[in-house]
Structure 1
């Protein structure tokens, strides 16, 4: 069964969109979507995965001589993660990334 979100789209589409813009769209959908926990989980996980990766890529770029090569490799890895996570979210999966997935799940699904 598919559910609608507050913006009128299917929750699987919005969950996949949470990953498309790295952590930017994660923050955007955390602010927009207040009711749908499936979307909020994927938005929170997107922020918790891609914000540190963006910081790592930025800092590696400053390493003299070979830092830009390392930054490109981590950037390609981030792009691979983005595609994999977006496809899994579109298929309706509620996968948890090691380390940050449990925090994202608990922050959205645990009653306060």
Structure 2
């Protein structure tokens, strides 16, 4: 491989503090524990920090919603049964968007993440 071709290939697969391509690291952030680890490890890369912080906020929000629904008799219990499949679809969608290299913002949570990253 010649020098210009090698440089172009390296530019397409940027590495970061974690040692992974940005889109792969962003995708892995939506696995909750990995998102926490990446949040503490990555200090420079805004793309990875965005996805890691959004994944953590999403995990906390889903945990609180499931706690509240668990306290509500019958209707809350039925809705909490739907939370599992809905959460799975949402996490897969967010992983897909991160893999594409986009910073897709979830309503409310995405805005909170943007504020945190600016400060």
What TM-score, normalized by structure 2, do the two folds share? 0.78
Q: CA deviation at 1:66?
A: 4.6
The total of aligned residue pairs comes to 108
Q: Which moved more, 1:56-65 or 1:83-92?
A: 56-65
Which has more helix, going by share of residues?
2
Q: C-alpha root-mean-square deviation of aligned residues, in Å?
A: 1.8
Structure 2 counterpart of 1:42: 51
The question of whether the paired residues in 2 share the 8 Å contact of 1:61 and 1:70 is answered with no
Unaligned segments of structure 1, at least 5 residues: none
Matches within 5 A, 1:1-112: 1-21=12-32, 24-108=33-117, 110=118, 112=119
Unaligned runs of 5+ in 2: 1-11
State the distance in 1 between where 2:75 and 2:50 align.
36
2:36, 2:56 within 8 Å by CA — same for their partners in 1?
yes
**CA–CA separation in structure 1 for the residues paired with 2:49 and 2:86:** 24
Alpha-carbon distance change, 104 to 63 in structure 1, aligned in 2, over 3 angstroms: same
Q: Which runs of 4+ in 1 moved over 4 A?
A: none
